[in-house]
Amino acid sequence: MPESTPAPAPGAGARTAVYAHGHHTSVLRSHRWRTAENSAAYLLPHLRPGTNLLDVGCGPGTITLDLAERVAPGDVVGIDPAPDVLETARAEATARGGAAGKARFVTGDITEPESSALPTGGFDVVHAHQVLQHLGDPVEALRAMRRLCRPDGMVAVRDADYAAMTWWPRPPALELWAALYRRVARAAGGEPDAGRRLWGWAREAGFTDITPSASSWCFAEPADREWWGGLWAERCTASGFARLAVTGGHATEEELAAIAAGWREWAAAEDGWFAVLHGEVLCRG
Ligand SMILES: C[S@@+](CC[C@H](N)C(=O)[O-])C[C@H]1O[C@@H](n2cnc3c(N)ncnc32)[C@H](O)[C@@H]1O
């Protein structure tokens, strides 16, 4: 799939960030693996049949559609600024049918909520998974999410924390990857260590009743290592991240190829283990 998230207009300011990964197939392989169970478990006990839910930055929509099946007959809307990825989400909704088939996917940017004509106070739950880490002003995005939520509703956000990711064994190339990724993400206007910041950002956005938590993904079984290591090897050479790393002068193509080899080396190690820590907040009030 081509890269589809537009670069910010010159002078667009701190609110706008570039979505560093883009939607290359290596990125979508990661996003499409996601389910409500593995990526939104903290929210699930709070969903009821009939809950109206907005999924901000829904990407290819696999989490959105799982949530739609849980809240049926509630209305579910996914927004994302990237039209191509929404086509993928719509195709998946059609393929699944049932409650998932009724979910709607609309082009929209949470930093400009008026652009997608979403109703103020129109949703019981406004959810975002791995989105705030990519935004220039995550606090303003949380305020926008709050405005879209009913006064007694809930904003639910989960983000990865790159500095807290840990793995074994430790090929030197993966140390380079960790530093490079965080440099490129920050140069693109995001905050890669977002997981630890969510609690503070939610307070700054004005929420008074916030439940913080943390949860992780773990990749260690051979098939999981091959999948996770393989997709990161490809992301390091072919995705939006690779393009930004080179055009921003953060790495050469040769360095990226060496990092990709490091990922394959990690994946091939029989004792390979990788944990991705996430921060989460459920915000009311
Ligand atoms: C890491 S992906 C997460 C996709 C999906 N939530 C998931 O976890 O599978 C981040 C998504 O946020 C979207 N995004 C970036 N900036 C956004 C913005 N300002 N408003 C809404 N979505 C945005 C990107 O296009 C991308 O699809």
* pLDDT tens per residue, range 203-223: 999 999 999 999 999 999 999
Does residue 88 line the site of ligand 1, with CB under 6 A? no
CA-wise closest residue to 256 among 242, 275, 267, 270? 242
Does residue 129 line the site of ligand 1, with CB under 6 A? yes
Q: How far is the CA of 80 from the centre of ligand 1 (A)?
A: 6
The C-alpha atoms of residue 35 and residue 210 are separated, in whole angstroms, by 24
Confidence of residue 14 (pLDDT cuts 50, 70, 90): very low
**pLDDT score of 278:** 98
- pLDDT > 90 in the chain, percent: 86
Helix (H) or strand (E) holding 143: helix 138-148
Does residue 137 line the site of ligand 1, with CB under 6 A? no
- Nearest-Å Rg of the Cα atoms of the chain is 18
DSSP-assigned beta bridge partners for residue 104: 77
The C-alpha atoms of residue 6 and residue 23 are separated, in whole angstroms, by 11
Q: How far is the CA of 213 from the centre of ligand 1 (A)?
A: 21
**pLDDT score of 80:** 97
Query: What does each C-alpha distance from 45 to 36, 95, 256, 260 come to in angstroms?
Result: 11, 27, 42, 39
Q: How far is the CA of 269 from the centre of ligand 1 (A)?
A: 32
pLDDT at 30 over 80: no
User: 77-135 pLDDT, tens per residue?
Assistant: 999 999 999 999 999 999 999 999 999 999 999 999 787 789 999 999 999 999 999 99
Confidence of residue 6 (pLDDT cuts 50, 70, 90): very low
**What is the average pLDDT score of the chain?**
92
Cβ atoms of residues 139 and 204 within 8 Å: yes
Q: Mean pLDDT over residues 227-238, rounded?
A: 95
